Structure 1
């Protein structure tokens, strides 16, 4: 069931080796994505220089780090203490010293944003959610938004689907791998929201949709790097745990090397991103 899946997923993210691979090999979000965020914040009449942001499901900081220079204060929250530790380490490493004091990550999630003590009544102007909303308890998330998101504030949530690869034989092989994991039940049920592009899930956010954006950034990646990214897939890790078959990705890599000059050529990777912007009404009905 969904609750057991969530517990399984939390255990997955508590694994420090997974956090390390996640931080190193998960896709970087393109600058154009953060430019869309900047424009949407401005269009909502929010002064970014005075605004507070919560990056919910911050993971190891892929989205949070680029948000720091854009806003006055940026919080990150994740249910995994291991991910939070990795995120704070990324902030130490990547954020300029003069800005480090305005950002921090803590343990928290959709059901409890993690603001406590003197910060228990923290109100934020923007909540960002990068590739995480499909794990949320949506009714609990709605209650937390009503408590912590300022009227007129934004929820900016995005997801990315299955990468599109060139050359074409590698793309076909990736789709076969994904389909096998799905057919054999190794992908968590929440994966359906990724395949749906959050279309149904977006209807469960308690505020109106302001806009929807589609981005298709392209990058080149070495085969080894892309396979390391595949090793962060929860479906792959669940497959390995269930079957004991530990060489799945090595076999997949060997097959693709034949299409890439023995692995010397680079993969062309397109990342299909879909972003939703929701706005809390200024006047509460």
Structure 2
């Protein structure tokens, strides 16, 4: 997974949209305490700094050292590189031991994880009772240019890694063995609106940060060549008229540690 985001780490940091502030407010309202949060697969810290507004401290981890070099500094956030081979026990110890974490967040990343291993660590470190875990991603549907985005998305399908299917399908099939707290659950993820001001240049930057676009280029196929970008720009001008965008933040299961486990 780390290798997929090494080459475009700078583009990712500049182009990916920020998550809605009210999402973090909602999640914080579900936890009994607000001492420690763990943001897993933090990338450049987009979710971590949102979580930090509600918790005393945030440990933000990622397997990509390149992404962490571009993480947004925050006085409450500690960034930590955790290579793929990091033992689960080491993570538990780093996080303060069993039952030490009030909130676990995973933004646009859980589909890359070894889910049994991650969930095993999550169960151990979540506070009992009162700890919450939430995972989410966003889709490619951008209003009012949904058709344009769907056509471009289809060109990326041959270059998508299998785990990305979870995200593109809105996490509907994502295993999520945690108790429902009323904000999405296994098989029925919640869908939330996500608004973000975006220029056409910003859109192209976001598309260039997609792992499938990078994989295609490594295989000699430029999905965002000059001709394609020109066609997208023409459609953008017809469909937009203004520099704003609205899409869905979807695939949000949030839950508590399964009772009795």
Which TM-score applies when normalising by structure 1?
Answer: 0.78
Instruction: Select 2:164's aligned residue among 183, 187, 191.
Output: 191
1:104-143 equivalent positions in 2, closer than 5 A: 104-108=78-82, 112=87, 115=91, 121=97, 123-143=100-120
Give 1:196 shift. 2.3
Quote the Cα distance in structure 2 between the aligned partners of 1:30 and 1:231. 22
Quote the Cα distance in structure 1 between the aligned partners of 2:93 and 2:178. 28
Q: Report what 1:86 is aligned to.
A: 70
Does residue 36 (structure 1) correspond to residue 29 (structure 2)? The answer is no
Give 1:250 shift. 3.1
Give 1:277 shift. 1.0
* Deviant stretches of 4+, over 6 Å: none
Q: Report what 1:207 is aligned to.
A: 178
Q: Report what 2:139 is aligned to.
A: 161
Does residue 77 (structure 1) correspond to residue 48 (structure 2)? The answer is no
Quote the Cα distance in structure 2 between the aligned partners of 1:71 and 1:31. 14
Instruction: Select 1:278's aligned residue among 250, 255, 260.
Output: 255
Quote the Cα distance in structure 2 between the aligned partners of 1:126 and 1:104. 15
Larger Rg: 1
Contact 1:13–1:80 at 8 Å: present in 2 too?
yes
With 111-120 and 32-41 compared, the bigger mean Cα shift is at 111-120
Instruction: Select 2:154's aligned residue among 172, 179, 193.
Output: 179
**Quick one: structure 1 residues 119 and 227, their matched pair in 2 at CA, closer, same or farther if it must change by over 3 Å?**
closer
1:234-245 equivalent positions in 2, closer than 5 A: 234-242=211-219, 244-245=220-221
Contact 2:176–2:253 at 8 Å: present in 1 too?
no
Quote the Cα distance in structure 2 between the aligned partners of 1:250 and 1:40. 47
Contact 1:158–1:273 at 8 Å: present in 2 too?
yes
Does residue 254 (structure 1) correspond to residue 234 (structure 2)? The answer is no
Contact 2:61–2:79 at 8 Å: present in 1 too?
yes
Instruction: Select 1:148's aligned residue among 112, 121, 125.
Output: 125
Give 1:262 shift. 9.2
**Quick one: structure 1 residues 262 and 146, their matched pair in 2 at CA, closer, same or farther if it must change by over 3 Å?**
closer
| Structure 1 or 2: more helix by fraction | 1
Quote the Cα distance in structure 1 between the aligned partners of 2:136 and 2:94. 31
Give 1:106 shift. 0.5
Which TM-score applies when normalising by structure 2?
Answer: 0.85
Q: Report what 1:4 is aligned to.
A: none
What root-mean-square deviation, in Å, do the aligned CA atoms of Structure 1 and Structure 2 show?
Answer: 2.6
Quote the Cα distance in structure 2 between the aligned partners of 1:162 and 1:238. 18
Quote the Cα distance in structure 2 between the aligned partners of 1:12 and 1:136. 13
Give the length in aligned residue pairs: 250
Give 1:265 shift. 4.7
Does residue 21 (structure 1) correspond to residue 11 (structure 2)? The answer is yes
